[in-house]
Amino acid sequence: MSVLKSEIVFYANGSGSEVWQQLANRAPGEGLACPLCGRVFQHKNNFLKHYKTHTGEKPFACIYCSFRTIQKVNLKTHMRNIHNVF
């Protein structure tokens, strides 16, 4: 199993959808190395689950800036403190 160096750079720079595309195009049996910590995964689902632990699944996004959070209350606090909303 091997991962091309260019792919690793691609993961690191790409958005989530680009990662998906790259995973779909990889050769069968080829491992996927996490660009952020180097762990290698044989299954894309495992990789994606792991990758999200780095990027964070933060469903609450500020509509005024790029701030994201996993907790709604944090977004409210952010809105109030940063944007004087609410």
Q: For binding to Zn ion (CB under 5 A), which residues are involved? A: 34, 36-37, 62, 64-65, 67
Cβ(32)–Cβ(50) below 8 Å: no
State how far the Cα of 59 lies from the Cα of 71, in Å rounded to an integer. 8
Nearer to Zn ion, 29 or 86 (CB): 86
Q: How far is the CB of 36 from Zn ion (least distance, A)?
A: 4
If the CB atoms of residues 1 and 37 are measured against Zn ion, the closer one turns out to be 37
**Whose Cβ is closer to Zn ion: residue 30's or residue 79's?**
79
Q: Where are the alpha helices (H) located in 14-65, listed in sequence order?
A: 16-25, 44-55
